[in-house]
Structure 1
Amino acid sequence: MISENYKHQLIKETKQVDVLLGQTSTFEQLVREIIYEQNDKAILELIKNLGVLTKIQSFPNMEKKQEQIFELLYKYLGASKIDELFQDLKESSNVSLNAFLNQLNELVGLENVKQQVRDLIDYNQIQHLRVKNGLKKSNKTLHMAFLGNPGTAKTTVARIFGRMYKAIGLLSKGHFIEASRTDLIAEYQGQTAMKVKRLINRAKGGVLFIDEAYSITENDHSDSYGRESLTELTKALEDYRNDLVVIVAGYTSLMEKFFESNPGLKSRFNTFISFSDYSLDELVRIFIYTCNQNDYIVQEEAMEEVRNVLQTIINEKDDQFANGRLVRNLFDDITLHQSKRLSKLTEHITKESLMLITKEDVPKNYTLKIF
């Protein structure tokens, strides 16, 4: 396998750098942690150390070595992986807590969620200050459960939590990793525990967000892999509680069943936050925000049609109501209709026309496409 070749080359190149610098396996050890433990922190540490190599004047070939290792790192891990880590680091470093609170406040609706988040920040800041002053802190964990229907910004809030906790010193990195059943369960017997350990190792110092967490135990009577995964995850919740936040999320009723699937699981989570469905006015605000972000202007008549469509969907909604995702799908369909309308024009299409959404662009009988 080609990645095996890159793996061996990485070890070889970093070993040579250690020899040139006369040090004991510093670079090589970081690479081995990256390869065998999937340690994201080691990746960032290696990149940081590589950055200073060219400043070492006594080794003129060091710049070439640096480039070779960077190239191998990108090939072995993939550019998207490294870019994601850099982005998380960039977004979470040197940013004040107030900046993240502003991000939270800018979200449409979710007033009860925002208040709970602010309360948690206040509480944990005081607990952190108690530790700094040699006092005992509460034994509460940082782990949380987000309960509610899809499209209610649970993932967005989870990301903000990691950055907030980094800003106040509760987490060492504040990065965000999203996982599903496939990330937590292996294909073969006995491999699941190791897969969970590797995922936890990547997430340490930040937030591990598991959406639809109940899928881990969806076949509770026959799924031994799911039980193995949950056992390992439950252990990690306690072992790494001081520098890891695990957030599980999903439908309220199914999450209740999830917590019943493993003795002691629910006690590992001290915070339960309910995300309510958006109201009509909030869905309209999300639609307008989406249009503004994408350089569209909505005619008043078209906005009234959008409002009517959303009201009809709310009236007919069931447990699968998609909230913000529904608005995004509606926006995509409206812009598709706008494109079809504009493509039929024979005259020159102006910038204003490209931006304008009319009543004609709002699809009729849209509820038929949702339910």
Structure 2
Amino acid sequence: MTSLPSLLSMMSQLIATPSISCSQASWDQSNKGVILLLEDWLSGLGFQCEIMPLPGQPDKVNLIATIGQGAGGLVLSGHTDTVPYDEDRWQSDPFKLNERDNKLYGLGTCDMKGFFAIVIDTIKDMDLSKLEQPLIILATADEESSMDGARALVSEGRPKARYALIGEPTSLTPIHAHKGIMMEKIRITGQAGHSSNPALGSNALDAMHAVMSELMIYRNGLKQTYRDANFVIDYPTMNFGCIHGGDNPNRICGRCELEFDIRALPGMDNQSLYQEIAALLPRIQQNTGTQIELHHLFPDVPSFSTQKESDIIKACERLTQKDAATVAFATEGPFLNQLGMETLILGPGSIDQAHQPNEFMALDQIAPMQHVIKGLVERYCLTPSTENEASRV
């Protein structure tokens, strides 16, 4: 068996390998370097490693690393990309692991390259020759932008296991649900003209006022109709994020654009929401003499929910001594659920540090996370599945 680097050495190498994903091409990078590091370490432990390029994106790849066989088993999943960074706001090099004040600093330490190092360091000391069910390490591309890595897995129908844990930073709290998110744009095209005579044009800003008024009524209806007490904000939200229109006070506005998001509760369907909003627009278009278009800014992410009675939720509540909760941020959880796995989100580090300058993982998060990983591998991979089933009766 190949000798593995230490946990901190693995984390240092992962942090030193840039893998930013971004909708802006000037920032966007390949994640292959990170995947190749993981492949090297995991193959040394006996895993069968498959690198899967994303369709039409050869520089973006997923990794499925499998050891053991069976119909059940466990997936330990994470994404290999990071967000961009503000170099002038970092107190140290974001691509060099820096330890100070009992914290590990670097871009991706908690979100979420550090998770892979912790997983590999934990399982290297376990007897994987005695697996009764498969253990799968899943590493994805582009979670921070398009989630195309997770979408590609759903298209392929792989991997398959009974349970999955995604190691996003949750301060070691089991997460059983989060809201979905959709980001949309409404573009209104009117007719510009001299402001002294409104009849010379069709004012796109006037039409947008009507659109926003309808959306506010619709938003209030969603709030009155849908509630989920598991969430701090227990209703679906719609946020008007930015608006652009017109060019001068003495010209009738010829074009106006509004960008907004909706965060739907579990059980709500993003496509149905999109269609309901689209149905509000033709009447306004006719009344204002404008052209109104609704477009996706990004592909939507469904809401995520795993039953709190799921065995993996209960197991992680015992292992962490924390009750399962919900979060507002989106993850790849709904895509793994679509693959048929009972999934939860649980990882080291805090979401408060993610996407921030001087991102860090506190050292005291590592040992408890290793305790969780070891417990889950023992329960779902080193124990025959018949015993797991019996324990759920």
TM-score range, shorter chain: under 0.3
TM-score (norm 2): 0.23
1 or 2 for the larger relative contact order (CA 8 Å, sep ≥6)? 2
Task: Report which of the two has the higher share of helix.
Answer: 1
Task: Report which of the two has the higher share of strand.
Answer: 2
TM-score (norm 1): 0.24
